Amino acid sequence: MAGPLAGTLVLDLSRALAGPHAAMMLGDMGARVIKVESPGGDDSRRWGPPFVSGESTYFFSCNRNKESVVLDLKSAEGRETLERLVGRADVLIENFRPGVLDRLGFPVTRLHELNPGLVVLSITGFGHDGPEGGRAGYDQIAQGEAGLMSLTGLTEPTRTGVPIGDLLAGVYGAYGVASALAARERTGQGVVVRTSLLAALVGVHAFQGTRHTVAGQNPGLTGNHHPSIAPYGAFGCADGMIQVACGTEEHWRRFAKLLDIDPEEFPGNADRIARHRALVERLESVLRTRPRRHWLDLLAAEGVPAGAIRTIEEVYTWEQTLSQGLVIEVDHPATGRVRLPGPPLRVERADGTSVTRTRHLPPPLLGEHDETIRRELDEGLLA
């Protein structure tokens, strides 16, 4: 299997999105990922519509490049099989509520008795300890609790269009696993990597966080315009909206001159922020006289950063998206040939040759690889 994590065996005991997303990222990089499911299967197998040939497209979004084995961890046989898998694995990912894995007989101490080199990734909703560490983790609740919704929207707090807390926890988790695997090369010891939806969302507050911690401000709804840079946001044209990002004074001067506006009418970024409503009205009084394509062509010619606001359908047919390998095709046993969002990372040698995997596995059917994995365990071939 190609990829920088080729030869790495990952057990994915997680469900829904945060843990599965982390495991999928490791699989994209060449790891062999075995998804350990309960007899009922991952909850997300039932999330929909839409369903295609009875399969949840939600499940498809976070389970490519995995195999599925069914284990009842409340049974002696299921626990014994998991012990055997743990003994061969490099990574175990779980997103149970705090204490659940312990009650099943697999606290971290037991996992490291079975395999001292095992890297464990534990993802929770609000942290594994602290006064609210036992809370269940649901993305929209975490977006509200972590302050993200207070920054998003035009007139009221708004969730993002994707479960960003789950996804970011998965990204941070995969980053932590990769770091722990690198450290294991030096120490030979496994560790526990912990993150949560709360930690992931606070971790991306960026300048909005330091507006509070350093400047003492309490940021509010941002809408479609940057709170610290102007003009930087979405603007109405004759037939829709475009986005323009003037990150430098030179960008502003070029933009203003394209619209036949004197740049000194709004001199300096601080002045433009202070007079932001007047600035937007002035710009849109010109932009609304011509269609989007007209302005995008002019802005591109002048080197002013700008872009369209695409639909999801437009993104997946855009040549630039396709050129980056962000759409892949796989053959699924139930749905046949399907297109999936592709891995967001590419790994290349200095000469440009790729070391990223080129063959991708479709999201597995429930228990699809039971027989294969048990046979490999019995024959000592699992790796």
The reported pLDDT for the residue numbered 54 is: 96
The reported pLDDT for the residue numbered 358 is: 83
Label residue 352 left, alpha or beta by phi (over 0 means left) and psi (-120 to 50 means alpha).
left
Quote the radius of gyration of the chain (alpha carbons, Å).
24
Residues 63 and 59: their CA atoms lie apart, in Å, by 6
The pair of structure tokens assigned to 34 is 């075995």
Give the start-to-end residue ranges of the domains of the chain.
9-204+328-378, 232-310
Specify the long-range contacts of residues 108-117, CB closer than 8 Å, at least 24 apart.
108/192, 111/86, 112/190, 114/83, 114/86, 114/87, 115/86, 115/87, 115/88, 115/89, 115/190, 116/188, 116/189, 116/190, 117/90, 117/184, 117/188, 117/189, 117/190
The reported pLDDT for the residue numbered 63 is: 98
The reported pLDDT for the residue numbered 35 is: 98
The reported pLDDT for the residue numbered 1 is: 61
Tell me the average confidence (pLDDT) per consecutive run of 10 residues in the chain, 383 residues long: 91 98 97 97 97 97 98 96 98 95 96 98 96 93 98 96 98 98 97 98 97 97 95 96 97 97 96 96 97 97 96 96 96 97 94 90 97 95 90
Single pTM value for the model = 0.94
Note the CATH number of domain 9-204+328-378: 3.40.50.10540
| Residues tagged active-site | 166
Is 232-310 assigned to CATH 3.40.50.720?
Answer: no
Helix, coil or strand: residue 52 = strand
Give the amino acid at 252.
W
